[in-house]
Amino acid sequence: MLSNIRIILVQTFHPGNIGATARAMKTMGLENLVLVNPRSFPDDEATRLAAGATDVLENVRVVDSLNDAVSDCVQVVGASARLRSMPLPHFDEPDTMAESVVENATAAPVALVFGRERSGLTNEEIRACTHQVSIPANPEYGILNLSQAVQILAYEVHRCFRKRPDSGFVYQAPSESTPPSREQFGYFQQHLSQVMHKSGFITQPHARTEEQLQALFSRAELSRRELSLLRGFLSAVEAHLPYEPTPKE
């Protein structure tokens, strides 16, 4: 479905923005980039700023006009910083735009269109669109870089896509962030208690200090790796404590 979502850049002046757009797209699972009369492409600066998303650049399609880029699309959303007098349906929020785009993309190609860095889309280019969308921003400084605007709308599209039950999207958490089992955390608490008592940090049998520290580590939501580091630290401290033979039962 994401392959049906097309990002179109019209007359991009700085080739670096093309590379940064490719990077923004790839992070959100988009790969279909079309350029309308770019000033310079291919370009080394575009490749440099793509930062690993060169596969998106390698599959770029360059066309002469916006109409050529959208002729097969069932929905064309023009990104514009300001409202025009034309009575096009307008999305005030990117998330509502994304819902509509993702729904239409399940059956046919759709497009998100971005204009020139300084002047955006012309009135004629807006007429080639079916909808408009604006990105709410600081009214005193609502200026977004081209690739930033692409990133925001691409994120909203991907967020909407991954919520669909048919998306098949599964977020793989890094193994280092896997939380410890309750048994592992219990061993850590025992080890912590042992070191606190052996070191003399806790001298009163009923002090609440031990309970408070254990609660602190519970709230920290440590990963297995972090818990392992703490166990190593406790072992190092324990190794420098005076030896105390275990009393015979």
* Residue ranges of the chain whose pLDDT lies below 50: 246-249
pLDDT of residue 26: 96
Q: Which of 139, 162, 185 finishes a domain? A: 162
Neighbours of 53 (CB within 10 A): 21
Tell me: do 14 and 89 sit in the same domain: yes
Q: Is residue 6 part of a domain?
A: yes
pLDDT of residue 85: 63
pLDDT tens per residue, range 69-91: 999 999 999 998 655 566 788 89
pLDDT of residue 22: 97
- The domain spanning residue 155 has which CATH number? 3.40.1280.10
Kindly state the DSSP code that residue 9 receives in the 8-state scheme: E
C-beta pairs of 56-61 under 8 Å, 24+ apart in sequence: 56/22, 56/25, 56/26, 56/31, 57/18, 57/19, 57/22, 57/33, 59/31, 59/32, 59/33, 60/18, 60/22, 60/33, 60/34, 60/35, 61/33, 61/34, 61/35
pLDDT of residue 174: 58
Give the chain's domain count: 2
Tell me: do 15 and 109 sit in the same domain: yes
CB of 154 within 8 A of CB of 28? yes
Q: Is residue 167 part of a domain?
A: no
pLDDT of residue 110: 96
Q: Is residue 77 part of a domain?
A: yes
Q: Is residue 249 part of a domain?
A: no
Q: Is residue 221 part of a domain?
A: yes
Neighbours of 212 (CB within 10 A): 9
Task: Tell me the residue range of the domain where 105 lies.
Answer: 2-162
Neighbours of 26 (CB within 10 A): 20
Tell me: do 150 and 206 sit in the same domain: no
